[in-house]
Amino acid sequence: MRKVRVMVVDDAVVVRKIVTDSLASDPEIDVVGVAANGRIALAKIPQINPDILTLDIEMPEMDGLQTLVEVRKLYPLLPVIMFSTLTERGGAKTLEALSLGATDYVTKPANVGSVSVAMQRVRDELIPKIKLFCAEKAGLKPHPTAKPPPTAKPAPAAKIIPKVKKIFKPRSDTPANTKIDIVAIGVSTGGPNALAELFPVFPKNFPVPIVLVQHMPPFFTKLLAERLSSKSEVDVVEGAPGQVLENGKAWIAPGDYHMVLQKNGTHVKIETNQDPPENSCRPAVDVLFKSVASLYGPNILGVILTGMGQDGMIGCEHIKDAGGQVIVQDEESCVVWGMPGFVAKANLADKILPLNQIGQEIIRIANVGR
């Protein structure tokens, strides 16, 4: 086993210091270089041969997006984690970076009160992702299969070769002709690009409402909803208290809020809360799925897409206990086969499908009995 070689690219001296000191505190990580902008970083990469980059978005001379484009041309297999601000501008740039082939992102700690708290945030949020994407390369403890998100650009994003895939048998105890009244989706790492591929498949007359959790902070979820809505026949909005569910429309849980459903006469409406995180997540897939299961019983289709961790597994248990159906994304098409992998291994999935087949399968199931 060797240490993961990390290069930190950020124009702010204070931020570079916080990040490098935080990473250096981990015995499995070696910060092999720093750079104040993309141009310097591109010159240093062949000299220091890093395993992964952390890349700031806002930098002089050559910013993070420009750098990312060049990195993808020159080093298509190099994982890149964007380091973005928790602002609307930061969210928009982050979504663009993911579409250009960034492997993942972490938000900069802001207004946290002290350097020690900021360093702990970096350790909690950045280090696990660095290890996830470099596990095989550095010979670390095995992690769920991790690959980069797909990109529309000619150069592919970084890829980690998946291990031999285990076969998990899908369940067969859900009646194939069960009519569903709602689709609930849970997704995390790699989600924005997966959703960008999934939602354009849905027709304008999609027969049921869609509710979903994408693990993202405030600002980001609103921007993601707008981006998906602009590319889809289905209207996609960020969830807000009091909104009434409608067929052919989708709601994304807002960042830092759990989203739940409540019965209001003959209608179902959205409510949000800031109850404690579940699975270290807020919004959490489990919270939404349990809420949906309590209202819709067997008339639910749950979908778990790419993501790190196991959020959604308990929610899928509730859906299956209520008689609903569950589809999960297969390992090969995931950026991280964590969330769907846990559901599959728990024998909670009715079907395990590649991403490019999930949209049509959702449409087929949604139209059963109509």
Q: Residue 278 carries which DSSP code?
A: B
The rounded distance, in Å, linking the Cα atoms of 311 and 324 is 18
The rounded distance, in Å, linking the Cα atoms of 230 and 3 is 43
Query: Residues of 12-43 as b/e, b for ≥16 C-beta within 10 angstroms?
Result: eeebbebbbebbeebebbbbbbbbbbbbbbbe
Residue of 104, 286, 311, 330 marked active site: 311
- Whether residue 66 contacts residue 31, with contact meaning beta carbons closer than 8 Å, is answered with no
Residue of 143, 215, 258, 318 marked active site: 215
Q: Does residue 350 carry a catalytic annotation?
A: no
Transcribe 169-225 into DSSP letters: PPP--S-TT---SEEEEEE-TTHHHHHHHHGGGS-TT-SS-EEEEE---TTHHHHHH
Q: Does residue 63 carry a catalytic annotation?
A: no
| Residue 251 structure tokens | 């709601």
Residue of 22, 188, 232, 291 marked active site: 188
- Whether residue 346 contacts residue 317, with contact meaning beta carbons closer than 8 Å, is answered with yes
Q: Does residue 10 carry a catalytic annotation?
A: no
Q: Which helix (H) or strand (E) holds 32?
A: strand 29-35
The rounded distance, in Å, linking the Cα atoms of 42 and 55 is 11
Query: Residues of 48-59 as b/e, b for ≥16 C-beta within 10 angstroms?
Result: eebbbbbbbbbb
Count of C-beta atoms within a 10 Å radius of residue 205: 10
The rounded distance, in Å, linking the Cα atoms of 73 and 91 is 24
* Residues assigned a catalytic role: 188, 215, 311
